[in-house]
A and B are shown apart, each in its own frame.
Chain A
Amino acid sequence: MTSPSPTRHSWYEESARGRLAHLLDLGSFTEFLGPERREFSPHLGLFNLPHQLDDGIIVGTGRLDGRPVLAAAQEGRFMGGAIGEVHGAKLTGLLRAARQLKRDVVILFDTGGVRLQEANAGELAISEIIRATLEARAEGVRVVGLLGGRAGCYGGGSLIAGCCSALVISEQGRLSVSGPEVIETNKGVEEFDSRDRALVWRTMGGKHRYLIGGADLFVDDDVAAFRAGALAALERPSALDQAVLAAEQARLERRLARFGDAADGAEVWARLGVAHPAGVPDLDTGAFLTIATSKREGADAAR
């Protein structure tokens, strides 16, 4: 019997706190503004919605294989990991600290984007986070994003991910500016059937993002694999200068020209030269990486 490995511990299923505990060196994490500080959203009560004491994000400092890092983890089950005022401020603060301390950052994304009930504050927060990310990176700080949560990484969250120095993704991870329901609502079910989950994964899922260079490392849905992935991502270059940006612009223009009219991820994979594109979703990680290594579009340092 082929059974799910008994040693596998799903990242997708874990809570934000559980993911942090498994990612960082045992007992090394110290939380900033923990739940007992009660820095929660002041807005949700107006909508008769319950708040969460940490506002859906955990920030703090810890060690990764002995190396000091700052870390943030979003809880995708609380309001879909959506970014409100306090949630955003905690991440902004962490990234500003990273710049001052010159300490690398790991962000465990799990978010549908901006929280509708605090939309203006949330949108502002996204801008502040992006600025803080770029300012930290300008100082040589690495900002690594890990993508494999239940809520995926959508909307403003995907914009932040796009500013990271490296992204690690699992098959379960989804990365897209617009989510499936948003596309269906705006363009119609003929354009995108959000309930066709295989389609969602073919167009936004981890394998697709890795194949088109939207993520740098592909790992199993496993907490140990994400830890190894985070360590490898922290070794990647973080330079962010004009030459890198120009190269990134050129890469994205090439991508658009090559795949812009493709209707489905499988069509993109076929154009990449993958022999059996329809079989890609069913490949295990080893077999997938064998194909992907030779066929994938390279990611650029600028992302």
Chain B
Amino acid sequence: MRDWNTKGRDRQARLEAGRHLATGKIVAAQDLVAFLEAILRPGDRVCLEGDNQKQADVLAKALAKVDPAKVNGLHMVQSGVVLPEHLDIFETGIARRLDFSYSGPQSARIARMMFGGQIELGAVHTYLELFARYFIDLTPQVALIAAVSADKDGNLYTGPNTEDTPTVVEATSFGKGLVIAQVGEIVDKVPRVDIPADQVHFVVDAGRPFYVEPLFTRDPAAITETQILTAMLAIKGLYAPYGVRRLNHGIGFNTAAIELLLPTYGERLGLKGKVCTHWALNPHPTLIPAIESGWVEQIHCFGSEVGMEDYMRARPDIFFTGPDGSLRSNRAFCQTAGLYACDMFIGSTLQIDLAGNSSTVTGGRVAGFGGAPNMGSDARGRRHPSAPWLRAGQEADPDGPPPLRRGRKLVVQIGETFGDGNAPMFVERLGALELADKLDLDLAPVMVYGDDVTHIVTEEGIANLLLCRDKDEREQAIRGVAGYTEVGRARDRGMVERLRERKVIQRPEDLGIDPLDADRSLLVAHSIKDLMIASGGLYRPPSRFRNW
């Protein structure tokens, strides 16, 4: 007779092993390493919570200290490889295989370890894709998560940085895995229940808050004139004509410039209320002036942002907040919102090839994707119409029968033709292909596929790839905005001019924009302090961004 509950019994065994080192559900911080050695087994699939923002840092440090003779060969399935400990465990053999999404600050080291064979790579995923696999073929046996506080029963308050936690817990707990949470404090009653106690098996009082990286804070002082020019082009050449109300912005300075131009340049163009009203977006401090001047109706967030907590609490009409008043973020839901309910994604990248494929893999760095590809892809399952979506669909297929014609999401890549260190954004061959060769991967890590990209914005102009009718036109449209990069200089000038006549390429002057008007005086805020003042003192920027 088949045993239909092997997973449940497996969890029961781990629970009993852990109970010896716990008081009720509470594990003392000094017993944490021994506790992990007791409940983990070689080869386990483990989700160590961490993304581009929050980190279960105390659990990560403890995991790095377990005895590799007892715990080894783990298969890590986690959003972010961000802390040094996330990679230390692969050096000591505690972990062996890795499926992940994002590795920003560890991008160089993770590449070296992949080349050196210390990490057996499953795949580099988009966030939603990895979350999806938690429910299909990568369900964690153990999840190590982070929360703000817990009560004695194990109810968790995850606070503004809820992020991945509900998704990880859902998959692990109902998939018969074990959930262990680090919390900043144990309280009598949590401010709100983000994770119910019966989904949480053990709680560690870390005695301090989990680490959060202020990744989405962009200092207006660092925004250049060229970035302002690209922002003006995007607002006047894309936001206005398509009437983009529902959107997501990337993390870069170009989109920060757009946010800071809405109350000045956007206002002058009469766009208030007509664009940028509904967002899938982290709480960008640079959006404060636009929110304060009434541009924004609603924002749903993937995560939080350090220092924005009080501001969001004071703007409940705009943000999703709980009965306790604080933000409730949710990465899985917000990524889904960005994929299905937004008409535009606009963000930067490090490399774009002649077909419009883009990647952030350069010179031995594997930064992963994060969420950009989910938002930066056409949602083939979308069925509801909207004006920008229909118009984009019509541009792509002008002769198709309207009632049967799919719309298109606007997927916009924005950037300067040369990036940091004068590295060209346009390349003949993506660095991702070299990486794929070196690691013998079946699939190169492409962030946004060329057939999803609809527009490319640089200081030289806007290329509308929806209007390109063949591969050659597409290539010349890309070369035509690639500036003085080698790709740009190798353009067919005659063809580029013909594309310009058809408005496939639009130069600043074609849109009535004088590049010399792209001046920092257009920015509604010039410094982090201006943002703090615009928030009425509610935004509390982290120390590293202050100059007061």
Of B520, B524, B527, B548, most buried by chain A (CB within 10 Å of CB) is: B548
Q: Which chain B residues lie closer than 8 Å to A1 at the CB level?
A: 289, 292-293, 534, 536
Expressed in whole angstroms, the Cα–Cα distance for A3 and B546 within the complex equals 18
Of A172, A197, A205, most buried by chain B (CB within 10 Å of CB) is: A197
Q: Does B548 contact A205, Cβ atoms closer than 8 Å?
A: yes
CB under 8 Å from chain A, chain B span 475-526: 520, 524-526
Expressed in whole angstroms, the Cα–Cα distance for A201 and B527 within the complex equals 15
* Nearest-Cβ distance from residue A194 to partner chain B, whole angstroms: 11
Is B212 positioned at the interface, with any CB of A under 8 Å from its CB? no
Q: Does B548 contact A3, Cβ atoms closer than 8 Å?
A: no
Known: A195-B544, A197-B547. A13 touches B221 (CB 8 A): yes
Is B211 positioned at the interface, with any CB of A under 8 Å from its CB? no
Q: Which chain B residues lie closer than 8 Å to A186 at the CB level?
A: none
* Nearest-Cβ distance from residue B523 to partner chain A, whole angstroms: 10
Q: Which chain B residues lie closer than 8 Å to A2 at the CB level?
A: 533-534, 536-537
Give which listed residue, A4, A172, A195, A207, contacts B525 with CB less than 8 A.
A4
Can you name 14 A-B pairs with beta carbons within 8 Å? A1-B534, A1-B536, A2-B536, A4-B530, A13-B526, A171-B548, A195-B544, A197-B543, A197-B544, A197-B545, A198-B548, A201-B546, A201-B547, A281-B548
Known: A13-B221, A13-B520, A13-B526. A3 touches B533 (CB 8 A): yes
Expressed in whole angstroms, the Cα–Cα distance for A3 and B536 within the complex equals 8
One digit per residue, 1 when the CB lies within 8 angstroms of any chain B CB and 0 when it does not, for chain A 9-37 equals 01011000000000000000000000000
Give which listed residue, A10, A12, A198, A207, contacts B546 with CB less than 8 A.
A198
B: residues with CB less than 8 A from A are 221, 289, 292-293, 520, 524-527, 530, 533-534, 536-537, 543-548
Given contacts A3-B289, A3-B292, A197-B546, 6 further A-B contacts (CB under 8 A): A1-B293, A1-B536, A2-B536, A4-B524, A197-B547, A205-B548
Expressed in whole angstroms, the Cα–Cα distance for A13 and B529 within the complex equals 13
Is A196 positioned at the interface, with any CB of B under 8 Å from its CB? yes
Q: Does B221 contact A201, Cβ atoms closer than 8 Å?
A: no
* Nearest-Cβ distance from residue B179 to partner chain A, whole angstroms: 35
Expressed in whole angstroms, the Cα–Cα distance for A265 and B530 within the complex equals 23
Expressed in whole angstroms, the Cα–Cα distance for A195 and B546 within the complex equals 10
Q: Which chain B residues lie closer than 8 Å to A198 at the CB level?
A: 543, 546, 548
Q: How many residues of A contact B (CB 8 A)?
A: 19
Is A245 positioned at the interface, with any CB of B under 8 Å from its CB? no
One digit per residue, 1 when the CB lies within 8 angstroms of any chain B CB and 0 when it does not, for chain A 101-133 equals 000000000000000000000000000000000
- In the complex, the chain A residue whose C-beta lies closest to that of B534 is A3
Expressed in whole angstroms, the Cα–Cα distance for A171 and B532 within the complex equals 15
- In the complex, the chain B residue whose C-beta lies closest to that of A206 is B548
Is A199 positioned at the interface, with any CB of B under 8 Å from its CB? yes
Expressed in whole angstroms, the Cα–Cα distance for A274 and B480 within the complex equals 61
- In the complex, the chain B residue whose C-beta lies closest to that of A3 is B534
Q: Which chain A residues lie closer than 8 Å to B533 at the CB level?
A: 2-4
Q: Does A3 contact B520, Cβ atoms closer than 8 Å?
A: no
Q: Which chain A residues lie closer than 8 Å to B548 at the CB level?
A: 171-172, 198, 201, 205, 207, 281-282
Q: Does A282 contact B537, Cβ atoms closer than 8 Å?
A: yes
One digit per residue, 1 when the CB lies within 8 angstroms of any chain B CB and 0 when it does not, for chain A 192-218 equals 000111110100010100000000000
Expressed in whole angstroms, the Cα–Cα distance for A12 and B527 within the complex equals 10
Q: Does B544 contact A196, Cβ atoms closer than 8 Å?
A: yes
Q: Which chain B residues lie closer than 8 Å to A207 at the CB level?
A: 548
Give which listed residue, B534, B543, B547, contacts A172 with CB less than 8 A.
B547
* Nearest-Cβ distance from residue B287 to partner chain A, whole angstroms: 13
One digit per residue, 1 when the CB lies within 8 angstroms of any chain B CB and 0 when it does not, for chain A 272-292 equals 000000000110000000000
Expressed in whole angstroms, the Cα–Cα distance for A281 and B540 within the complex equals 12
4 tightest A-B CB contacts, nearest first: A198-B543, A1-B292, A4-B530, A197-B546
Q: Which chain B residues lie closer than 8 Å to A199 at the CB level?
A: 543
Q: Which chain A residues lie closer than 8 Å to B546 at the CB level?
A: 197-198, 201, 281
* Nearest-Cβ distance from residue B177 to partner chain A, whole angstroms: 39
Expressed in whole angstroms, the Cα–Cα distance for A207 and B526 within the complex equals 21
Q: Does A4 contact B544, Cβ atoms closer than 8 Å?
A: no
Expressed in whole angstroms, the Cα–Cα distance for A2 and B545 within the complex equals 20
- In the complex, the chain A residue whose C-beta lies closest to that of B528 is A197
* Nearest-Cβ distance from residue A122 to partner chain B, whole angstroms: 26
Q: Which chain B residues lie closer than 8 Å to A3 at the CB level?
A: 289, 292-293, 524, 533-534
Q: Which chain B residues lie closer than 8 Å to A196 at the CB level?
A: 543-544
One digit per residue, 1 when the CB lies within 8 angstroms of any chain B CB and 0 when it does not, for chain A 215-236 equals 0000000000000000000000
Q: Which chain A residues lie closer than 8 Å to B547 at the CB level?
A: 12, 172, 197, 201
Q: Does B543 contact A4, Cβ atoms closer than 8 Å?
A: no
Q: Which chain B residues lie closer than 8 Å to A282 at the CB level?
A: 537, 548
- In the complex, the chain B residue whose C-beta lies closest to that of A205 is B548
Expressed in whole angstroms, the Cα–Cα distance for A187 and B548 within the complex equals 23
Q: Which chain B residues lie closer than 8 Å to A281 at the CB level?
A: 546, 548
Expressed in whole angstroms, the Cα–Cα distance for A13 and B526 within the complex equals 8
* Nearest-Cβ distance from residue A172 to partner chain B, whole angstroms: 6
Of A1, A196, A201, most buried by chain B (CB within 10 Å of CB) is: A1
- In the complex, the chain B residue whose C-beta lies closest to that of A1 is B292
- In the complex, the chain B residue whose C-beta lies closest to that of A281 is B548
Expressed in whole angstroms, the Cα–Cα distance for A2 and B546 within the complex equals 19
Q: Which chain A residues lie closer than 8 Å to B520 at the CB level?
A: 13
* Nearest-Cβ distance from residue B528 to partner chain A, whole angstroms: 10
- In the complex, the chain B residue whose C-beta lies closest to that of A9 is B521
* Nearest-Cβ distance from residue B422 to partner chain A, whole angstroms: 15
* Nearest-Cβ distance from residue B533 to partner chain A, whole angstroms: 6
- In the complex, the chain A residue whose C-beta lies closest to that of B524 is A3
* Nearest-Cβ distance from residue B407 to partner chain A, whole angstroms: 36
Expressed in whole angstroms, the Cα–Cα distance for A1 and B267 within the complex equals 16
Q: Which chain B residues lie closer than 8 Å to A12 at the CB level?
A: 527, 547
Q: Which chain A residues lie closer than 8 Å to B527 at the CB level?
A: 10, 12-13
Expressed in whole angstroms, the Cα–Cα distance for A120 and B536 within the complex equals 49
* Nearest-Cβ distance from residue B222 to partner chain A, whole angstroms: 12
* Nearest-Cβ distance from residue B229 to partner chain A, whole angstroms: 18
* Nearest-Cβ distance from residue B437 to partner chain A, whole angstroms: 36
Of A3, A13, A205, A281, most buried by chain B (CB within 10 Å of CB) is: A3
Expressed in whole angstroms, the Cα–Cα distance for A205 and B524 within the complex equals 25
* Nearest-Cβ distance from residue B296 to partner chain A, whole angstroms: 13
Q: Which chain A residues lie closer than 8 Å to B545 at the CB level?
A: 197
- In the complex, the chain B residue whose C-beta lies closest to that of A202 is B548
Q: Which chain B residues lie closer than 8 Å to A4 at the CB level?
A: 524-526, 530, 533-534
Expressed in whole angstroms, the Cα–Cα distance for A2 and B311 within the complex equals 13
Q: Which chain B residues lie closer than 8 Å to A172 at the CB level?
A: 547-548
Q: Which chain A residues lie closer than 8 Å to B293 at the CB level?
A: 1, 3
One digit per residue, 1 when the CB lies within 8 angstroms of any chain B CB and 0 when it does not, for chain A 161-181 equals 000000000011000000000
Of B292, B526, B547, most buried by chain A (CB within 10 Å of CB) is: B547
* Nearest-Cβ distance from residue A26 to partner chain B, whole angstroms: 19
